[in-house]
Structure 1
Amino acid sequence: MDQYILGIDIGTTSVKVCIVNTSKDNTVEALHNKDTQSNVPSDTGPGGNKQDVFTIVSAINLCVSKLPKQLLQKVGKIGICGQMHGVMFWNNDEKQKAWEMVGKERNVRFDVVKERVSALYTWQDNRCDTDFLATLPPPQSHIRISTGFGSATIFWMARNKPHKLEKYNCSGTIMDFVISVLCNLEKPVTSNQNAASWGYFNCSTNEWNIDILAEAGFPIHLLPQVKEVGQIAGYLVDNWHSIPKGTPVGVSCGDIQCSILSTLESPYDAVLNISTSAQIGFIAKGYVPPTGPPLKSTDGYFPYFNKQFIAVAASLNGGNTLATFVKTLQQWTLELGFSVPQSKVWEKILVLGEDDNSISDLRIIPTCLGERHSPDRTASIENIHVGNIGLGQVFRSLCRGLVENLHSMMPKEILQRQQITRLVGNGSGLSRNKVLQKEVQHLYELPLVFTKGGDACKGAAMSQALP
C-alpha cells in the first residue's frame, strides 16, 4: 500500500516541498519550490541578518498548495526541516495569537500576524562578536557557542534589547514556529538536532544547560521543549491545503541531517554541499559526545538519526561568496555605463574558469563572511602580478580558495581515517559549477558523484519513516 509523506525544507533562500512515497523506494511523487526573498534590513547594521517570517510562511503555503490535491489528501505524515541555528520569537496567548486560519473547508491556510512575531535572526547573524562571546559562560556541551547560534542571539537580545523579548513567551527555529502553527501548540517543541545547533545543549543527556543559563541571566522560559528526532511534535489542527486534520507532524530536523539522509548511499560516502554556505559531513561511526566543555576544533559533531552523530565542517562562505563576486562584477559594469544581467556574468565566468589557462598562482582567501571559529576573519588576495589577474584566473582562484578553506576545516586525512571512498555532491552551488567540481577533486583526491538524492525536503519526509 502506498504511503505518502509531505517533506518541507525551509531554507535560507528558498522553500522546497515534496511528497514522497515511502513504500516505493522513497520516490518523489511531486515537488515544488519558491525563492523566499525574505531578507529585511537589520537594526544592528551590517552585522545583523534577519528575515521576514510572514514572507517565509506565505512561501510555504504557496508551495504546498501547488502540489496535486489527490496526493495531499493521502498524506499520512509531515516532516519539516530547515536552516539551523536561527531563532525567532512569538507569543502564544490565545487573545494575541501569532497566526490565524484563513480559507474554506479542506483548503485552509495559516497566515502569520506580522505584529505578533519577531523577525527570524538567522545563522548568518554576526551581532555576537568575539568580545561579546567571551562574556558568555562556558557551555556544558561538546559544541562550541558561536555567533548566529540561537542561544547566543538570545543572550545578546536579553542584554541589549530586553524590551523586545518582553513581548514574547516562546522561541524556536523557523521550523519550530511553523510546527507550532500547524499543530496549534501551547509550548513550542524542537528536536535534539536543532537544540544542539543553538548551543548550551548537552547531547549526552538531551537537556538544556538550564543551571548555567539561569545563573547567567538567560530567559530560560523562552526555551522550547526538546524531543528526540523522529518523535511526533503534534497533529494538524485543521485540514491544510487538503491534508487531513489530525495528520501527525514530526519534530523539526536540521537541513544538513536531512540532506545527508537523502543523499548517502553507503556508510563510506561523505556529503559535500555547497549552496548558500558550504558543508562537508559523514556519519561518525561509533562517536560518543564527551561530557566536558567543547573542544577547540573547526569541525563539529551533531545529532543525526537513530542515535548516531555526523561529523560536519560547516563554512559560512559558499555560494553566497561567489554570488557576492558576481554582484560586484555586475556593479562595476554598471558604473562603467553598461547593464549586464547576473545570468550573463555567471555564464561567462563559468566558461572562462573551466579553461586550463585559468589555472594560476593567484591565491584568494575568500572568508569575507568570517567563520564560526573565527568570526573576525576577513578575505584577502595574495601573490598578485600582471600575469594572473584575468577574469577566468580570478574566478578559478576564488573557487579554489573556497575549497581550500573547507579543506582546512576538514582535511582529506580525516576522510581517509574514516575510510571514505567518495564524495557525493549536493547543492546548486556545486552541481552547476564545474570549476568548483574540478577543484574539489583535485584537493580531496576522491571521486565526486551526484546521485538522485540530495533534497533536504526529501530527507525530511524520509525521517518520518525511519524505524
Structure 2
Amino acid sequence: MYSLGIDIGTTSCKICIVSSSSSSSSNENNRIIFTEQLAHNAHIIQKEFTSFDEQYPSKILETVDKLLEKSGSLNNDSLIKSIQICGQMHGFILWSSKSPRTIVSSLITWQDQRCSTEFLSTLGSSLTHLRTGYGLATLLWLINEQKGKEDELIKYDRAGTIADYIVEILCEDSTINSQISTQMATSWGAVNNKWPIEHRLLPIIVEPGTIIGYWKKKIPVYVALGDLQCSVFSCQPKKNQGVLNISTSAQLALAIDRQSSMINGSDGDNISSSIRVPYFESKDLLVAASLNGGNILSAFVHLIYSWQLSLNNNSSLSIDILWSRLIELGLQSSSTIENFSAALFGERHDSSMAASITNIRSINMPQLNDIGCVFRSICQWIIKNLFEMLGKDSLIMECVIGTGSALMRNDVLQRELKEKVQYPVIFHEHSDAAYGAALFALMQ
C-alpha cells in the first residue's frame, strides 16, 4: 500500500508517494514511488498595499491538481492507503463550505506585514504573543476593517491555512465542523491548544491523525499539518539530533519530551527568539523559526540580475547562470564581511532587524569588490542567525541533520553549517515536508 503526501509551500507544491514493506517509520523500510515539485506562481503583485502579501488559492489548487495528475493518482488510486497534506504555516484563508472553489478569499501568507506594531498593541494582554502574519492576528485585522462597513466576512463559514483549504477541496464529504490541527492552530496564535478569543470562524482544534474526510469517497484524508513538523519528521531525528531546514525561510528545530522543563517563551518584556510548538504524540519542538532563509539569497541574486541588465541590456547571464556562478565564487572566497547583517525580512521577535553593512572604509573595499565574499557572508549569516536565535538550547545538540531545498542546492550554505558546529552534520537530500507528510500517513 502507498501513502500520498503533499506540501503546499510558499513558492511551490510538492507531492510524494511512499510505499513500505513494514509498519515501522524507519526510513530503511520506505521507498519513494513518485515525487514531483511544481512552482505555483500564485503571488499577487501589490501595487497599492505594499505591506500585503497574498496569493491566489486557485493557482495553488491548479498546481495540486497537476501534481495528482502527473503522479497517476487520479486514474489509479487502488493502492493509496491515505493522504496527508501539509503546508506553509501562519497564513490565513476564508472560504464557504457550500462552494469552496468559487467563494474563497485570497491567501494572506505568513510574510504579510499589514498588522502593524500599533495595531497589535491594541489587542489586549491575552494576545501579546501575536505577530503580523499569524492567522489570528490577520482575522482580528479583517474584523477591525469591517467596523462601520458592510460585513464582507459573512459569506464565509470556514477559515484555515491554505493546507486546510486544500484538504476540504479533496474531501467531498468533509466534516460538518471546521477543524485545524494543533500544529497549525499554534502557528495562528492558539495557546495550549485553545483559542485565546472566541469567533464563529475559528475552527475546532484537533490532534494530528484526525480524519477530516475521504478523497473519492474511500481514501482517508487527515487534518493538515505544519510543513515544519513534517520536515523534521521526515528526518526521523534521534535524541539530541537537531534538524536545520532552509527553504524560503529557515528553521533550526530540536525535538524534546512534552514534559521537559526546557520551556521557551517571553522573558519579561523581551520576546523570545525561539518558540516551543507541538510536534507528534508526546513531543514538542524547540524552534528557531527565521523569516530569513533562501528568500534573502534569492533577493540578492535578483538584485545582481537587475543591476547587470541595467548596465548591459544585451547580457546573456540568466538567473540560473548567476546562481551557479555565485555558488562557485562563494566556495572560492576565503573570507567573510564583518559588521554584516542579512536580515532583509526582519524577525518576528525583532521587527527592527534589517540587512546592513556598517563601518565600511577603503580598507574593506576589496571584500565588497569580491561578490563571492558577499554571497558567502549572506550564507554564513543565515546559519549563524539560526543558532543565535535558538540560544543555549542548541548546546545539547550532538548532531544536526540538514535538509530543505535551498540548503541542498547550495554548497556554500552546507560548508558554512559544517564550519559552524563541532559535531557531525548529516545531509538528507530526499527528506522534506512532502516526504514527512507521506511517512506520517503511512504510519496511521
- Taking structure 1 as the reference length, the TM-score comes to 0.85
The equivalent of 2:5 in structure 1 is 7
> Does residue 1:455 correspond to 2:416, yes or no?
no
Partners in 1 of 2:66 and 2:383 — Cα distance? 36
Which of 409, 412, 416 pairs up with 1:432?
409
Find the residue that maps to 2:126 and give its secondary structure. Answer: coil
SS of residue paired to 2:13: strand
What is the match of residue 345 of structure 2?
369
Which residue of structure 2 lines up, in the alignment, with residue 109 of structure 1? none
- Structure 1 residue aligned with 2:191: 202
Distance of 1:383 and 1:267 partners within structure 2: 43
2:137 maps to 1:160: no
Q: Give 1:23 deviation, angstroms.
A: 3.1
Q: Which of 297, 302, 305 is the aligned partner of 2:277? A: 302
The Cα offsets for residues 181-235 of structure 1, whole Å up to 9 and x where unpaired, read as 2223343211111011100x232xx3222xxx24xxxxx1011122111121122
Instruction: Tell me which residue corresponds to 1:388.
Output: 367
Instruction: Kindly indicate whether the alpha-carbon contact (under 8 Å) linking 1:363 and 1:397 is maintained by their aligned counterparts in 2.
Output: no
Change (3 A) 1:452 1:320: closer
Does the aligned pair in 1 maintain the 2:263–2:276 contact within 8 Å? no
Tell me which of 47, 56, 77 is aligned to 1:72.
Answer: 77
Residues 94-115 of structure 1, C-alpha deviations (whole Å, 9 max, x = no match): xxx12xxxxxxxxxxxxx32xx
What SS does the corresponding residue of 2:205 show, helix, strand or coil? strand
Name which of 4, 16, 19 aligns with 1:18. Answer: 16
Structure 1 contact 90–117 (Cα < 8 Å) conserved: yes
| Cα shift readout 1:318-363 (whole Å, capped 9, x = no counterpart) | 1000000000000000110243211111111111111143x13443
> 1:149 matched to which residue of 2?
134
Output one character per residue of 1:49-75: Cα deviation in whole Å (capped at 9) or x when no partner.
101000001100110111135763211
Of the candidates 37, 53, 63, which is equivalent to residue 59 of structure 1? Answer: 63
Listed as ranges, the gaps of 5+ residues in structure 2 are 23-28
Are the equivalent residues in 1 in contact too, given 2:246–2:405 (CA < 8 A)?
yes
1:414 — aligned with what? Answer: 393
Q: Structure 1 vs Structure 2: percent identity of aligned residues?
A: 35
Are residues 445 and 194 of structure 1, via their aligned partners in 2, closer, same or farther at CA, if it must alter by over 3 Å?
Answer: same
- 1:344 is matched with which residue? 321
Q: Match for 1:87 among 84, 92, 96?
A: 92
Who is 1:180 aligned against?
168
Q: CA RMSD in A?
A: 2.3
Partner SS for 1:34: strand
Query: Residue 26 of structure 2 aligns with which residue?
Result: none
**Cα distance in 2 for residues equivalent to 1:126 and 1:75:** 40
Cα deviation, residue 148, structure 1: 0.6
Q: Quick one: distance in 1 between partners of 2:380 and 2:342?
A: 9
Aligned to 1:117, which of 104, 108, 111?
104
SS at match of 2:142: helix
The TM-score normalised by the length of structure 2 is 0.89
Aligned counterpart in structure 2 of residue 231 of structure 1, from 172, 185, 210: 210
**Cα deviations across residues 352-395 of structure 1 (Å, max 9, x unaligned)?**
111143x1344321111111111232211124322211111111
CA offsets per residue over residues 269-313 of structure 1, 9 Å max, x none? Answer: 111111100100010234469999855311011111113101110
Q: Quick one: structure 1 residues 293 and 343, their matched pair in 2 at CA, closer, same or farther if it must change by over 3 Å?
A: closer
Matched residue of 1:20: which SS?
Answer: strand
Q: Which runs of 5+ in 1 are unaligned?
A: 99-111, 215-219, 240-244
Distance 1:45 1:289 in 2: 43
1:247: which partner in 2?
219
